[in-house]
Amino acid sequence: MSLSPTNSFTVLLVEDDARLARLTMAYLQAHGVLVLHASDGLSGLQVARTEPVDVVLLDLMLPGLDGLEVCRRIRERSDVPIVMLTARDGEVDRVLGLELGADDYVSKPFSSPELLARLRAQVRRFRGLAGPGPSEIVQVGRLKVDPGTHTAWLGDEILTLTTYEFDLLRVLAERPGRVLARETILDLVKGSADEAFDRSIDVHVSRLRQKLGDDARDPRMLKTVRGVGYVLTGDAKP
């Protein structure tokens, strides 16, 4: 069977549990995924910086550099999708991971088919293959979003966004002036709806707001409607 563009991709697995790494690699490789493995944070960071990968699967608890620090350092140089592996009750770690630029998280113990689906979704978004296909550039005030090239500009400045941040911005920009509930956003972005916790969207919005240069205390573009959700407007400073 020939591989589709989203079945054939490279994942960097950073996991120090040898048994879990072996089982995860075997499952992914059986489904046509090329897996690079690093067993500690420093090695994982080096591979992420030197090898072309489509997505990083990053454990939080690692010897040497922990997963949060690895995530932060990768994000300083790259917008490659990062999926964190977290403990099921580790909400604080999940929030910290999202704040540092992770795109998604999977709780341990995890389902291998679900993990593969999450990774494929991140690769589709990263390659600009999510959704029905390229569409026209969307403009809201000084903000322009091009789904076809996965690029966003504020005025003449290109915004550096993670794949999740871009899709979040696209969803809001395609519905300017419309208040979207958190559940609606999760459904439209096709993120971690099954395991989403209340603060996940809030964290992504906070990071996106910073990149838009919006004042968190008095935002003019990406506004919060308390108890309802979020709305994107064209009211940006020139």
Q: Where in the chain is the domain with CATH 3.40.50.2300?
A: 10-126
Rounded distance between C-alpha atoms, residue 167 and residue 204, angstroms:
11
Instruction: Give the pLDDT of residue 190.
Output: 66
Instruction: Give the pLDDT of residue 18.
Output: 95
Domain 138-232 belongs to what topology? Arc Repressor Mutant, subunit A (1.10.10)
Instruction: Give the pLDDT of residue 39.
Output: 95
Which option is the CATH number for 10-126: 3.30.360.10, 3.30.413.10, 3.40.50.150, 3.40.50.2300? 3.40.50.2300
Its pTM stands at 0.64
181 — phi, psi (to 5°)?
A: -70, 155
pLDDT tens-digit series, residues 63-77: 989 999 999 999 988
Q: Where in the chain is the domain with CATH 1.10.10.10?
A: 138-232
Low-confidence ranges of the chain (pLDDT < 70): 1-7, 88-90, 128-135, 190-199, 235-238
pLDDT tens-digit series, residues 19-28: 999 999 999 9
> How many Å separate Cα 17 from the centre of its chain?
24
Instruction: Give the pLDDT of residue 89.
Output: 64
Q: What is the DSSP string of 135-186?
A: -PPEEETTEEEETTTTEEEETTEEP---HHHHHHHHHHHTSTT--EEHHHHH
Instruction: Give the pLDDT of residue 5.
Output: 46
